[in-house]
Amino acid sequence: MKVELHKLSAMTELEANAIQDLWQLDLSSCWRLYRLLLQTYQGVIRQRILQHEQQYQAAAERLTELRLQEDLCILKEAKVVGMTTTGAAKYCQILQKIEERIVIVEEAAEVLEAHTITTTSKACQHVILTGDHQQLRPSANVYDLAKNFNLEISLFERLLKVNFLFVCLKYQHRMHPEIAQLLTPHIYQELENHPSVLKYENIKGISSNLFFVERDFPKQEIQEGKSHQNPHEAQFVVELCKYFSCQDYLPSQITILTTYTGQLFCLHKLMPAKTFAGVKVHVVDKYQGEENDIILLSLVQSNKEKRTVFLQIPNLICVVLSRAKKGLYCIGNMRMLGKVPLWSKVIQTLQEKRHIGQSLVLFCQNHPETKTLVSTAADFSKVPEGGCNRPSEFRLSCGHVCTRACHPYDAQHKEYQCVKPCPKVLCADGHHCQWLCY
């Protein structure tokens, strides 16, 4: 029966009409007639499904039209309409009907020219583009179109290159002045510090708000040579992140950046979710427009061939150096980067201000005279609790002494749990409490 059900040969309609008595048919003819009847029935069902499908499609289109009309009624009442460039392309019919007169495109230097054009209609009278063409460009999916046909150049940048009238903001409201000096005049000709950034407090537990640790740990190729990782740099950055957590900085105040996806995966492996919950880890080109109080940067690039393809891009260098608000700490092979003209200027500024070296100088908040040099991840064992290697010796409310090494966090020991035997006497017979002190 299974064999017969899988066969496709069927009786023709002429043969079926010629049958006088079904009971006179042989078994093979019965099966062929069965398949004809089955195909005829399936054809009727398909016709019905097609009709229902057409009805559904018409109803769906009608519903979409009504929803668009509903959105249009709401949007016409609004003074300001906000959307992404993708949303502008998706709802281009509504935009044409809204007839907006003024269009403002934020981060316009990172938006493809075609996407910018989709936001405008015939009724548009004024387009305002805000952005920074010296930071990341828009990314095109097809490399050939980006490099050979300039698809990665935004309308914003193209207009600047033909000397179109523009206004440049000269005050920066983000970076500590020590960090901002890396950008001026190497990237921006003029960049003044707003008074608000002059009030930033110095980063706790470290000698400088800005430092580049010069190391030449070799990188490793992964994913069949498509990406790179540097485990030594990753371990150093993770230990530095732990150190800042011990200085009473919230995880949300710390971001780790790297230049390669391979290093990103390497960092994730070294950072358990429970310990590092709230710490953001990103690849640099995905962090455009973002900022944080403390930025830890792993440059990864260190190889015998001394190639620095990725870190030669001026736009990327600009993003790398301008994400931090209060503290920027970087580890990488700075001698190799020094062969890139822009990096060479940045390194010269770092050397003049003594913000570059083989070791990072940490100091204990409780004992400021105690300083610790760290150049590798293993060196952080000298400051196990973020202070120094002296015992804490803080007298607790229970009368015992803190058994931890010197630590700047929980200075009043309100969260500390004393694990010594409880000294309480419970009764006149001299019975002692059997629990631990806390």
Q: Where are the domains of the chain?
A: 2-70, 85-161, 171-382, 391-438
Identity of residue 160: L
What is the pLDDT, as a whole number, of residue 289? Answer: 83
Q: What is the C-alpha separation between 105 and 116, in angstroms, rounded?
A: 7
Question: Does the pLDDT of residue 129 top 60, yes or no?
Answer: yes
What pLDDT digit, counting tens, does each position of 58-82 carry?
Answer: 999 999 889 988 999 999 899 999 9
What is the pLDDT, as a whole number, of residue 192? Answer: 94
Interval 296-322 mean pLDDT: 79
Interval 91-118 mean pLDDT: 89
Q: Which residue has the higher pLDDT, 89 or 302?
A: 89
What is the pLDDT, as a whole number, of residue 1? Answer: 87
What is the pLDDT, as a whole number, of residue 321? Answer: 94
Weakest mean pLDDT among 36-50, 192-206, 295-309, 316-330 = 295-309
What pLDDT digit, counting tens, does each position of 108-120 carry?
Answer: 999 999 889 888 8
Return mean pLDDT, the chain.
90
Interval 309-321 mean pLDDT: 84
Question: Does the pLDDT of residue 101 top 80, yes or no?
Answer: yes
What is the pLDDT, as a whole number, of residue 143? Answer: 86
Q: What is the C-alpha separation between 392 and 407, in angstroms, rounded?
A: 7
What is the pLDDT, as a whole number, of residue 309? Answer: 57
Specify whether the CB–CB gap between 387 and 406 falls below 8 A: yes
| pLDDT tier at 37, thresholds 50, 70, 90 | very high
Q: What is the C-alpha separation between 171 and 217, in angstroms, rounded?
A: 38
Interval 162-191 mean pLDDT: 92
How buried is 248 (Cβ within 10 angstroms: 0-12 exposed, 13-18 middle, 19+ buried)? Answer: middle
Share of the chain above pLDDT 90, in %: 57
What is the pLDDT, as a whole number, of residue 306? Answer: 53
Interval 119-124 mean pLDDT: 87
Question: Does the pLDDT of residue 87 top 90, yes or no?
Answer: no
Kindly state the tokens that stand for 431. Answer: 């019975």
Please tell me the CATH code under which domain 171-382 is placed.
3.40.50.300
Question: Does the pLDDT of residue 33 top 70, yes or no?
Answer: yes
Q: What is the C-alpha separation between 329 and 297, in angstroms, rounded?
A: 6
What is the pLDDT, as a whole number, of residue 267? Answer: 95
Partners of 405 in the β-ladder: 391
What is the pLDDT, as a whole number, of residue 125? Answer: 94
pTM of the complete model: 0.79
How far out from the chain centre does Cα 299 lie?
Answer: 16
